[in-house]
Amino acid sequence: MTPELHRNRAPWLAALLLSACSHSQDPAPQAAPITGLQTLTVAAPSGGLGRPWDGVVEAVQQADLSAQTSGRVVAVERDVDDPVSQGELLVRLSAVEQQSGVNSARAALRAAEAALVEAAATHRRFVELSERQFVSQSQLDQVSAAHDAAAAARDAARARLADAGQQADYTTIRAPFDGIVAARHVEPGESVAPGQPLLSVFAPTALRIEVSLPQSDAQAVRQQPEARIAFGDGREVAAADVIVFPSADPATHSIKVRVQLPELSPWPLPGSTAKVRFPAVADAGYPLLPRSALVRRGEVDAVYVLQAQQLSLRQLRLGAERGEQV
């Protein structure tokens, strides 16, 4: 400490010492009772609410639509947050090469069919000639083999046409189910390759949450498959179904529990967090406070506590909200 700091603090220290000496014989004053405040006694709730577990909402039906053929994006018919119906056109790719392949395969099929017609006619003539003993059996066998080869070539041409048609169908990407567009990854004019993401779609009518529980708690939930879910917006609902996985994670030795959500409006966003409570698992005993009693100081949540006629501000770590209580 520098001499300047010593000189600055000396008068304050002297004043404090003199004050302490002058009142050393007087009794300490009694704190005046605090009145006029509205107080509330809080305690941990009873009634089997269950211990809270943090989970993330996920969609049961979720699809990342990717390109299955190469091409250029001609149009993107739907954007993020747009509702879509099953079979609805979402993305259209250029189909010049694919359509050329279809035309080539179709022409090859016509040629193969014509060759088969000729081979069939030749085979019929040789069969008649064979019955009259005008041709040998080896000649008939050769004609029969040529007919079978022509039929096989026709079947191969049909398969190539079907494959070319499938490649052409890949240039139109359609919705696999009724849902909402969650993400868009391409813009018109971009060139795409097979496997490149185009859009992401999910169905908001089927949502679930998966949490990991210790084996003892999972066994209790298996005996009583019930759960309640509290969302960040204050809503709390009962689970539509609770499924306990039959095996434990070999790394964590915990067991996953899948909680199926009922249909909600508005539906919770996939990826948002929620708290899941199982009545079969004992509650941790956290008290509930009215939201009106909370004090916000910057990023800190706190509450005023009155104890022994002393008022203090105590920092809190908030849990799930239940209506007007936290």
Burial of residue 80 (number of CB atoms within 10 Å: 0-12, 13-18, 19+): exposed
Task: Phi first, then psi: give them for residue 168, nearest 5 degrees.
Answer: -70, -35
Contact present, 254 and 215 (Cβ < 8 Å): yes
Reading the block at residue 207, the tokens are 């949502």
Note the pLDDT tens digit of each residue in 42-75: 766 655 566 789 999 999 999 999 999 999 999 9
Is 127 in the same domain as 189?
A: no
Q: How many Å apart are CA 306 and CA 94, to the nearest integer?
A: 72
Is 197 in the same domain as 66?
A: yes
Is 137 in the same domain as 267?
A: no
My answer on whether omega of the bond before 246 falls inside 30° of 0, hence cis, is no
Other CB atoms within a 10 A radius of the CB of residue 285 amount to 11
Reading the block at residue 262, the tokens are 């009922």
Is 268 in the same domain as 294?
A: yes
CA angle 76, 170, 73 (to 5 degrees): 30
User: What is the CATH number for 78?
Assistant: 2.40.50.100
| pLDDT at residue number 35 | 66
Has residue 128 been placed in a domain? yes
Write the DSSP assignment of 172-238 as a string of letters: EEE-SSSEEEEEE---TT-EE-TT-EEEEEE-TTSEEEEEEE-HHHHHHHHHS---EEEETTS-EEE
Domain count, the chain: 3
Is 228 in the same domain as 303?
A: yes
Is 83 in the same domain as 197?
A: yes
User: What is the CATH number for 246?
Assistant: 2.40.30.170
Is 127 in the same domain as 73?
A: no
Domain termination residue (choose one: 143, 168, 193): 168
Q: How many Å apart are CA 237 and CA 259, to the nearest integer?
A: 11
Is 180 in the same domain as 252?
A: no
Give 286's pLDDT tier (boundaries 50, 70, 90): low
| pLDDT at residue number 48 | 53
Domain hosting residue 145, numbered range = 95-168
Has residue 323 been placed in a domain? no
Note the pLDDT tens digit of each residue in 209-230: 999 999 989 999 999 999 999 9
